[in-house]
Structure 1
Amino acid sequence: MKYVVGVDLGTSAVKVLLMNQEGKVCNEVSKSYPLIQEKSGYSEQDPNEWVDKTTAALKDLVAQFDGDVSDIEGISFSGQMHGLVLLDENNGVLRNAILWNDTRTTEQCHQIYDVVGEKKLLDITKNPALEGFTLPKILWVKQYEPEILEKASVFMLPKDYLRLKMTEQIHMEYSDAAGTLLLNVAEKTWSEELCELLDVDVKLCPPLLESHDLVGTITDSFAAETGLASTTKVFAGGADNACGAIGSAILIDGKTLCSIGTSGVVLSYEATKDRDFDGKVHYFNHGQEDAFYTMGVTLAAGYSLSWFKDTFAKEEAFETLLEGLEEVPVGANGLLFTPYLVGERTPYADATIRASFVGMDASHKRIDFARAVIEGITFSLNESIEIFRESGKTIDTIISIGGGAKNETWLQIQADVFNARIVKLSSEQGPAVGAAMLAAYGSGWFNSLQECAEVFTAEDVSYEPIPENVEKYKELFNLYKQVYVQTKELNEGLKSFRKN
């Protein structure tokens, strides 16, 4: 039996997953690492922590493997997007990585619009200038740490730096490059025009390749450290959301994914490069060759529910908190929640807006609030689905993964709010499976990622929308959308009273 490893380099931990040719998860190991938050809005990590913890995780994985290590044929990656890693001419790290959730670059986003213009930026990159993207981070370093940028020979993204340390090869693949705001997404090339306009040396941009492309084999020293065979092939990998799509079989037109973790993502497959969403949702290159995906983001999806639990039921399990959820009627007995705890991304790129409970009265119980939180998260994600449908897309089946797929009532709420068939997978490991699938495909086990998905993924159960609930939720969704408009000015006034 042959095996592959999927490495999911997340924001708080790395997970390594061992899978065999039958698509079975044989083992997994996770190792956590810290965030560095020196100031409000700053979020950084030491890139060498990623390397050390991944090395340790792979060493544990190999130690628990009772086969011939040469049967572990390939390894590939899923990685947190947008994070800036700057290297000198000797590939040494010049500063801590600035992560996707760092918000210091509002000034640089304005600079991009002032110099490039919003329309030209959307024409080239298919995305607006947001604080999370990589280009604003480069411009911040250029403005406030010019001596660092002067020493830089290349910039990388998190998983690409990890892969460099395993292979001594410098590359970036298209799905992650699309999140830098320097890639011409349609043409799959670095935009020399953007680099010239913003005075960024295009030589900082690494060579590009496909997610399933072979980069090389691991170095002898990395093999010695981990116990892996030096013949282990290394493949480029993909951005975490692209790998989540691959691992959920979002590989043909009409397939859509709803992933509810700390943040929430609605992602839909695109076969063409020319669909125009006017920057309302993200438009990225897929991990599948010559494909794309559109994506809407709710910043505080699962985080809204965990905040509610930690604030009002800290010592209880989620299962206890949600007992009786199915008995609360649609609309939580007249209670609405907007999940804007940390601002919002789609369809409102608004860092100032904050969450609201609307309609509280003395009759409401804690379970009503819990249902309102879950419905509010789902309404926020539905705003992205609404944008997809308004563009002409048909959304009739949605794969649900993450926290939102762990509760049957929430799965039914998704079916009713989205007015679509909701499918739960029988085994869900998210982006790590997508990374393993890229290694399996790259190793020649399958003729296509779609063929691989038929072995590595399987449907477990589905939920159909209930017509009566669909109509009620349409009415509630229209009320929900009014809350942002009517609280925007109030939240701007409250901003000066916040802790940070």
Structure 2
Amino acid sequence: MAYFLAADGGTESLRARIYDLQGNCVASHAEPYETVFSAGTRAEQRPEDWWTSLCKATRACMAESGLKPDQIEAMAYATTSCTVVALDDDGNPLRPALLWMDVRASSEAEAVLATGDDRLKLNSNGRGPVSAEWMIPKALWIKRNEPEIYDKAATICEYQDYLTLRLTGERCAALNNAGLRWHYANRDGGWAKSLVTALGMPDLIEKWPSRVAAPGEVVGNLTAQAAEALGLTTATKLVQGGADALIGMIGLGVARPGQLCLITGSSHLQFGVTEKPFHAEGMWGAYADIVYPDLYIVEGGQTSTGSIINWLKRFTGGELDFEALNQKAALLPPGSEGLVIQDHFQGNRTPYTDALSRGAVTGLTLAHEPHHVFRAIMEGISFGTRTILDAFSRGGYQATEMVAGGGATNSALWMQIHADTAGIPVRIPASADGPSLGSAILAAHGAGHFATIDEGIQAMVKPGRLVEPDPAAMRAYDEIYQKYLALYPALKGALEG
């Protein structure tokens, strides 16, 4: 039997898992780490904590599995994207990492957009926005506000790349992250030289890792020091992973053109697979080769989704019984008896890219109860997903199937509403651990067990359930959707007035 170590470096912890070639998880262990929040929407983590957590979690998995060190053929991992690290000549952190959610670089993001550089066509066809979360704005913030750190930094990279350096000694960036958030063009000149030059930091190119590796590519073997720290051997290969959401696509089995990956949680992310590149307003991408060779990824996102459900719980005093709400809400007809909710509680990421837009509950009467609002929230969020699918369609991408992962898949009602509002089937694979299973598939591919990533998906991703759209509900939602679409311009005009 062959075994593979996967890790998922998230916002609050790092979880290691060991998988076999059939996609079975034989061991799992998580180690938490601290995030330090401070004024100015700042959030930082200590890179050394990621390493410590990886070592502890790996050793715990090895103990749980009973495997010998030489039975782990390869490892790969998914991590948060846009978590930026500055390192000295010896690879030691010069300051805490700027976590992905750290948005102190808002003015720097505006400066990036103001360059009008051709690479910005990936962001709503040049319309933007450029997020303060991303690599270049954060690097520019360091240069402007901590010039001594910037000048001393031999390497500016991400969470993913820091672990790679610790494990193999290689300065290697993930194509997955670089293509998604560094404005790296895999088929069109590589690094965004004109962009960083326009920002007055052409030397950033030299500070970035000198190598860029695609998902599934072998970076190298573990060093003796790393192997000892993890309890493995130097025969273990490190295979390139990448951003957690995109590696999650692999773990959910989203690999064919026309498939759409819906990753749910506090927010929704939508990633589609396409054979042809295109750029359009209301979407991000298309990104070349960042998950699969010779294919492109298009991206959309909703800022607040599951977080609105949590808001409802807080709003009503925190005593909601979600199981009871689900049962009552399932008995309601589409439209929640007249309620339509705009889901922009924290602004809109796509397709409107309007950070100032806000949520709204419309159509309330004295007859409405909490389960009406509960269902209307799910419907409003699902309508928000449909606006993104519509934007994709206008750009040239037509989704034929939505593959879902994350917390919302626990609600059969919500998955049915997604299918009914989008008008396409929703597939929920058996494993909810998309980033970890995706990492294991990449490790197995890199170790030579599968000729392609798609072969690994076929062998290791287990089928789950399929939710077909209901024709009658589809017709009802088509009419309600028009009311939802009318809310944004009406409310935008009212707020501006």
| Distance in 2 between residues matched to 1:238 and 1:101, nearest whole Å | 17
1:374-385 matches, within 5 Å, as 374-385=378-389
> In the alignment, is residue 276 of structure 1 matched against residue 275 of structure 2?
no
Which residue in the other structure is 1:349 paired with? 353
1:451-466 matches, within 5 Å, as 451-466=455-470
| Distance in 2 between residues matched to 1:265 and 1:32, nearest whole Å | 24
Distance 1:266 1:166, change over 3 A: same
Gaps of 5+ in 1: 494-500
Q: Which of 239, 244, 251 pairs up with 1:247?
A: 251
The Cα of 1:316 is off from its aligned counterpart by 5.0
Could you say what the CA RMSD is over the residues aligned between the two structures, in angstroms? Answer: 2.1
Q: Which of 201, 208, 215 pairs up with 1:205?
A: 208
The Cα of 1:120 is off from its aligned counterpart by 5.3
| Distance in 1 between residues matched to 2:25 and 2:188, nearest whole Å | 36
The Cα of 1:126 is off from its aligned counterpart by 6.6
The Cα of 1:81 is off from its aligned counterpart by 0.9
Distance 1:492 1:135, change over 3 A: farther
Deviations 1:54-96 (A, max 9, x none): 2111111111121222111110011111121111222121122
- Which amino acid in structure 1 is aligned with residue 29 of structure 2? V
The Cα of 1:492 is off from its aligned counterpart by 6.5
1:124 and 1:184 in contact (8 A); partners too: no
| Distance in 2 between residues matched to 1:323 and 1:371, nearest whole Å | 10
**Which deviates the most, 336-345 or 258-267?**
336-345
Q: TM-score, normalised by structure 2?
A: 0.93
Which residue in the other structure is 1:327 paired with? 331
Distance 1:462 1:124, change over 3 A: closer
Which residue in the other structure is 1:423 paired with? 427
Q: Which of 298, 305, 326 pairs up with 1:301?
A: 305
The Cα of 1:125 is off from its aligned counterpart by 11
The number of equivalent residue pairs is: 491
| Distance in 2 between residues matched to 1:486 and 1:35, nearest whole Å | 39
1:124 and 1:183 in contact (8 A); partners too: no
The Cα of 1:296 is off from its aligned counterpart by 0.4
- Which amino acid in structure 2 is aligned with residue 163 of structure 1? T
| Distance in 1 between residues matched to 2:170 and 2:186, nearest whole Å | 23
1:53-64 matches, within 5 Å, as 53-64=53-64
| Distance in 2 between residues matched to 1:432 and 1:396, nearest whole Å | 26
**Which deviates the most, 375-384 or 116-125?**
116-125
2:285 and 2:298 in contact (8 A); partners too: yes
Which residue in the other structure is 2:190 paired with? 189
| Distance in 2 between residues matched to 1:347 and 1:313, nearest whole Å | 33
Distance 1:186 1:357, change over 3 A: farther
Distance 1:467 1:123, change over 3 A: closer
Which residue in the other structure is 1:98 paired with? 98
Q: Which of 270, 282, 293 pairs up with 1:266?
A: 270
> In the alignment, is residue 81 of structure 1 matched against residue 85 of structure 2?
no
Which residue in the other structure is 1:401 paired with? 405
- Which amino acid in structure 1 is aligned with residue 162 of structure 2? Y
Provide the identity percentage.
26
Report the secondary structure of 1:487's partner residue: helix
The Cα of 1:409 is off from its aligned counterpart by 1.3
> In the alignment, is residue 220 of structure 1 matched against residue 224 of structure 2?
yes
- Which amino acid in structure 2 is aligned with residue 48 of structure 1? E
1:215 and 1:236 in contact (8 A); partners too: yes
| Distance in 2 between residues matched to 1:280 and 1:158, nearest whole Å | 26
**Which deviates the most, 179-188 or 12-21?**
179-188
Which residue in the other structure is 1:43 paired with? 43
- Which amino acid in structure 2 is aligned with residue 232 of structure 1? T
2:247 and 2:435 in contact (8 A); partners too: yes
Report the secondary structure of 2:327's partner residue: coil
Which residue in the other structure is 1:435 paired with? 439
> In the alignment, is residue 159 of structure 1 matched against residue 163 of structure 2?
no
2:124 and 2:283 in contact (8 A); partners too: no
Distance 1:218 1:310, change over 3 A: farther
1:298 and 1:380 in contact (8 A); partners too: yes
The Cα of 1:118 is off from its aligned counterpart by 6.0
Distance 1:124 1:290, change over 3 A: farther
2:123 and 2:284 in contact (8 A); partners too: no
Distance 1:291 1:471, change over 3 A: same
**Which deviates the most, 397-406 or 311-320?**
311-320
> In the alignment, is residue 232 of structure 1 matched against residue 252 of structure 2?
no
The Cα of 1:43 is off from its aligned counterpart by 2.0
- Which amino acid in structure 1 is aligned with residue 28 of structure 2? E
Report the secondary structure of 1:189's partner residue: coil
The Cα of 1:16 is off from its aligned counterpart by 1.4
1:126 and 1:283 in contact (8 A); partners too: no
| Distance in 2 between residues matched to 1:121 and 1:276, nearest whole Å | 10
